[in-house]
Structure 1
Amino acid sequence: MRAIIIDQDVLMLEILENMIQEIGGVQVIGKFTTPHRGLIEITKIQPDILFLDIEMSDISSLDIAKETKETFPDMDIVFLSTYKQYTVQASKLQATDYLVKPYHEEALSETIIRLRSRRGSMKTTLARQMVCCFKKLQFKYYGRNSEVLDVKWRTPSSRALFAFLIHHHGQFIEKDVLLEEFWPGEEIKEGYSKLYSTIYQIRKTLKSIGFNITIISSKGSYRLELNDVLLDIKEWEQGIEEFPFVNEDTISKHKEICRLYKGDYLEEENYLWAESKKSRMRIQWSHYLKKVAKYYLSTENYSEAIILYLQIQEILPFKEESYFVLMQLYDSFGDRYSVEEQYRLLRNMLYKEYCVEPNEMVQKWYRDWKSRRVREEYKVEELVYSK
């Protein structure tokens, strides 16, 4: 089972991770002291378990848990707390368990046994075969309890040629074009021998994993047919086209569309022929995220808006807009540490890339915000001393 831990207390976070490793049965694949950073990873990798500190300052953990459950109903949530007073709220949110700090090995062991038992008894539903090209080339069963397959390629050439055929799926690609792309400079006879051998290896690999993908040879060309196998980039593009408007009726579908995009198109494969499509899809992705984020802003769902703008920041780190929007969103939660962090990140980025300061509007907003924070803290001190 894979888990993510979100806890603003660094020491308790480290202690819990070490205890989980000693007990075994759960792999901690991410740990975060910043809730919204943790939520981005949850959206990307969809762990089995979320260990969530319920007493984080400046942000509602209950809201985070509620949104996580709505988006990933099968994810187990284990609340972490110094007190037992939140057990009722945890129960209402269908939390799997509740751990009280400081942690005891026996209680944590029982929690892990309970999690293993629950996940082992979960009913699986029919999942569709899918080829994934976002971030890297993968095969998976798409649906509830998605499973990524461990595919063994005979050679790097067979993997690269399959990716190229997927890139042009449904189109005939001349064999001479493939020779020029993958075996330039080879003698014709030797080049064709390597091409035929690689196509044979691809077909054998597809058969070994049971994916119904065919490669048709016709008149000196090859064409790859997906048949009933899904392609993540195709599902993503069709989803955006099918649901052009973001509203209360379509937001659940847009959440599903957002989850498909795990990273740039074949970004970890470093194929030169994929660069143009990668750039185009990145721009399309950023526009799409902004559209969905605007809906969340209009409905005052600031937690979801923060998650999307953090993703936009990852995609377009040299644009000033995301930093400023995030500063304002964090301010709405009263999360002053994250406001200051975003301003610091913005200043560092602008100085490093352009040798300039943030624009005057952003600087003025930050100065006004700092002044307001000072006044609020002064009022709190006055109230404390007056008592």
Structure 2
Amino acid sequence: MKVILVDDERLALIGLKKILEKEVSGVEVLATYSDPTEVMTGVMIQRPDVVFLDIHMPEINGLELGRKIQQAAPDIEIIFVTSHDQYAVHAFDLQALDYVMKPIKKDRFQQTLSRVRERLNLKREQKGRDTNTPLICCFNQIQFKLPGQEAQTAKWRTSKAQELFAYLLHHRNQIIHRSTLLELLWPELEEDKTVHQLYTAMYHVRQTLKAYHMDMVTIQSGHLEAGYRLELGEVQLDSERWEQEVKQWKSVDSSTVDAYEHVLGLYKGTYLGNYEYMWAEPERERLRYLWLFHMRQLIHYYQQQELHEKVIENTRRIQQLLPDEEESYFILMKLYDELDNDYGVEEQYRLLTTRMEQDLEIPVSQNIREWYQDWKQGLTKIRK
């Protein structure tokens, strides 16, 4: 772990450097800075994993300096070390990894270092997977990603070829009978009139895989051409890999919250969501529920810690991906009420009624409507 320390108090710098070098294994202090104007140059040259950053400094506020570091080098983790706890919300709003109070307590600092190691290990594991393993992306749309390259959106000769591949991929490692594929793709035609079209579509699928250098994905013909079986070989699916990772985390606490949030952030959208394939809907719903379940656990943890900005950030992400999830609006309505943010309450209720009653033609749940009416009359404050 390579770190840079920034504090305008030299004694604080010396003390933190001593703790890191003498009591923590595997840490290399690349540089220390008491002049904040020198930090950006040092960061860009040294490229540390972590910057320990004081907030109250002359010439430039530590929060502003942290923002500049993140803009220039998003992979660098920021940990604020300060005597002033009123900046905690602002620190986490900047996506800081942690916020440590002076004087530094050994047990609390060990928690911070555990979080750092967890985050860095996740990054290394993710980088290793991205570097070494070909990937088929299924969130939103089908994309092919080769090691060390950007994902490419697949371009298919016909929509039938696209759905044929998607269906075989969805049922990977299973033999799908020819009659099933014919009924799926050409339900209006008799089987003997569509067999040639199936062969042509299969030819286009194989040519597309070859064009994107994904021909390690094989499609085997069954006995007497009765069906087809798609095998991935060394290729992975992003949806399958995401599910394996998210199931590693059973609960959220101070030692796992960063890993938890990182993995949930890998859920990029609905499974095959850009295509109107009704046969994919059960899998879409299953993965949506899995993501939502863990997002609720994450938000509950942030609620317990009273990290309001993190509650807002993650709840809004639910609204972005699942706009008809009523509970997300209700969570924010109650939070904004607690923060005396009347505009926030009104905005969330307006968004909810628009999406439910106008877009989906479904009434807002009675308990939410009743809570809102009580809030309008000031009754929610009385109950507190």
Is this a same-fold pair by TM over 0.5? Answer: yes
Worse overlay, 235-244 or 164-173 = 235-244
- 1:1-387 matched pairs, under 5 angstroms: 86=60, 88-93=62-67, 94-96=69-71, 126=131, 128-141=133-146, 147-211=150-214, 212-219=216-223, 220-314=226-320, 316-330=322-336, 335-348=341-354, 352=358, 353-354=362-363, 358-365=368-375, 367-368=377-378
Residues 18-61 of structure 1, C-alpha deviations (whole Å, 9 max, x = no match): xxxxxxxxxxxxxxxxxxxxxxxxxxxxxxxxxxxxxxxxxxxx
Letter in 2 for 1:166: L
> Which amino acid counterpart does residue 288 of structure 1 have in structure 2?
H
CA gap 1:318/1:96 in 2 versus in 1, 3 angstroms: closer
Indicate the SS of the match to 2:378: helix
Q: How far apart are residue 193 of structure 1 and its match?
A: 1.9
Deviation per residue, 1:123-172 (Å, 9 max, x gap): 997253221222222223588xx722143212211111110011101111
Residues 350, 127 of structure 1: alpha-carbon distance in 2 compared, 3 angstrom cutoff: same
Do the aligned partners of 2:139 and 2:267 also contact (CA within 8 Å) in 1? yes
Indicate how the Cα distance of structure 1 residues 260 and 350 shifts in structure 2: closer, same or farther if over 3 A, else same: closer
Q: Give 1:287's aligned amino acid.
A: F
Cα distance in 2 between the residues matched to 1:140 and 1:333: 44
Deviation of residue 354 (structure 1)?
2.1
Q: Is the 8 A contact 2:175 2:229 kept in 1?
A: yes
Question: TM-score scaled by structure 1?
Answer: 0.58
Answer whether contact 1:350 1:356 (CA < 8 A) is retained.
no
Q: Aligned-pair distance for 1:351?
A: 5.8
Across the two proteins, how many residue pairs are aligned to each other? 264
How far apart are 1:231 and its partner, in Å?
Answer: 0.7
Contact 1:324–1:362 (8 Å) recurs in 2: no
Preserved CA contact (<8 Å) 1:326 1:342: yes
Distance across 1 between alignment mates of 2:71 and 2:221 = 53
Deviation at 1:356, TM superposition (A): 7.7
Q: What is the alpha-carbon distance in structure 2 between the residues aligned to residue 185 and residue 361 of structure 1?
A: 51
Say whether the 8 Å CA contact 1:286–1:315 is kept in structure 2. Answer: no
In structure 2, relative to structure 1, the CA distance for the partners of 1:225 and 1:302 (3 Å cut) is farther
Match of 1:33 in 2: none
Shift of 1:272: 1.8
CA distance in 1, matches of 2:333, 2:270: 26
Other structure's SS at 2:135 match = strand
Q: What is the rounded CA distance, in whole Å, between the counterparts of 1:187 and 1:356 in structure 2? A: 48
- Distance in 2 (alpha carbons) for counterparts of 1:346 and 1:206: 43
Q: In terms of Rg, which structure is larger?
A: 2
Identity %: 36
Q: Distance in 1 between matches of 2:345 and 2:371?
A: 16
Deviation at 1:234, TM superposition (A): 0.8
Partners in 2 of 1:270 and 1:296 — Cα distance? 36
- Pair 232,176 (structure 1): closer, same or farther in 2 beyond 3 Å: same
Amino acid at match of 2:141: K
Partner of 2:110: none
Letter in 2 for 1:368: G
**Given residue 197 of structure 2, which amino acid in structure 1 is its aligned partner?**
K
- The change in CA–CA distance for 1:223 and 1:252 in structure 2 (over 3 A counts) is farther
Q: Is the 8 A contact 1:331 1:339 kept in 2?
A: yes
Q: Is the deviation greater in 296-305 or in 332-341?
A: 332-341
Judge conservation of contact 2:302–2:311 (CA < 8 Å) in 1. yes
- Give the counterpart letter for 2:297 in structure 1: K
Of 188-197 and 172-181, more deviation after overlay is shown by 188-197
Task: Tell me how far 1:309 sits from its aligned partner.
Answer: 1.6
What is the CA-CA distance between 1:365 and the residue it aligns to? Answer: 4.1
Helix, strand or coil for the counterpart of 1:325? helix
Q: Which runs of 5+ in 2 are unaligned?
A: 1-47, 50-57, 73-126
- Provide the rounded CA distance (Å) in 1 between the counterparts of 2:168 and 2:70: 45
Query: CA separation in 2, counterparts of 1:356 and 1:294?
Result: 21
Instruction: Sort the Cα spacing of 1:346 and 1:221 in 2 relative to 1 into closer, same or farther, 3 A.
Output: closer
Amino acid at match of 1:268: N
Give the conservation status (yes or no) of the 8 Å contact 1:282–1:315: no
Secondary structure at the aligned position of 2:269 is classed as: coil
C-alpha separation in 2, matches of 1:348 and 1:298: 30
The separation in 2 between residues aligned to 1:317 and 1:205, in whole angstroms, is 34
C-alpha RMSD of matched pairs (Å): 3.5
In 2, the alpha carbon distance for the partners of 1:263 and 1:95 equals: 25
Q: Per-residue deviation at 1:300?
A: 2.7
Q: Give the deviation of 1:208 after TM superposition.
A: 1.6
Instruction: Give the Cα–Cα distance (whole angstroms) in 2 for the partners of residues 356 and 235 of structure 1.
Output: 36
Separation in 2 of the partners of 1:312 and 1:96?
A: 25
